[in-house]
Amino acid sequence: MFDRRGNRSEKVKTVDSTLHCIAVTKEDLDSFRSKSVLLLTTDEIQNYQVNFAGQQQQGELLFYVFDVSPVAALPGKQYFEGRIWVDSRDFPIVKSRGTVVTKREKKRKGQDNILPAVTTWREQIDGRYWFPTYSRANDVLHFSTGDVQIDEVIKLTNYKAIAQSK
């Protein structure tokens, strides 16, 4: 959540971890907080190549589908790379599937940091804005020490408007 000054805070409701042979890093957490939910703002769009991939019908809804990739990755920054589905009526991003990419920095032996592909769905919360409500990564990560199957789920709930300070 964000307070009136725009400071971010988090409240973890439940943690059900079955991790045995991998560790969750700061980069993993940062990717789920930001790029896995695809917070593409007008300030960031110039950093991306966006290509129209076609249209897709799902039930009564028609989506425009776009492939998104960073133009150039800067060291220390994370970028989304994947596909987005945009509602053809009002143009919100309804679904995204992709991964976080970073500029490759030299790593020490045995320190792989591989991020999974994440699918995120959004819902219209207040009759006007669309927010991410469910993200899932179900992927096989190919580490130098062997493959690891992961299944991560993040549910975002209880969105509430905050009063703007004047």
For residue 27, pLDDT beyond 70: no
CA dihedral in degrees (34, 35, 36, 37; nearest 10)? 60
User: Within 10 A of 51 (CB to CB), how many other CB atoms are there?
Assistant: 11
**Cα-based angle 87, 91, 97 (whole degrees, multiple of 5):** 60
Q: Is the pLDDT of residue 141 over 90?
A: no
Share of the chain above pLDDT 90, in %: 20
Are the C-beta atoms of residues 166 and 7 closer than 8 Å to each other? no
pLDDT confidence of residue 12: 61
Length of the chain: 166
pLDDT exceeds 80 at position 10: no
State residue 51's pLDDT score: 96
The pLDDT of residue 162 = 65
pLDDT in tens, 86-101: 999 989 889 999 987 8
Token representation of residue 109: 């032996």
pLDDT digits 0-9 by tens, 74-86: 777 778 899 999 9
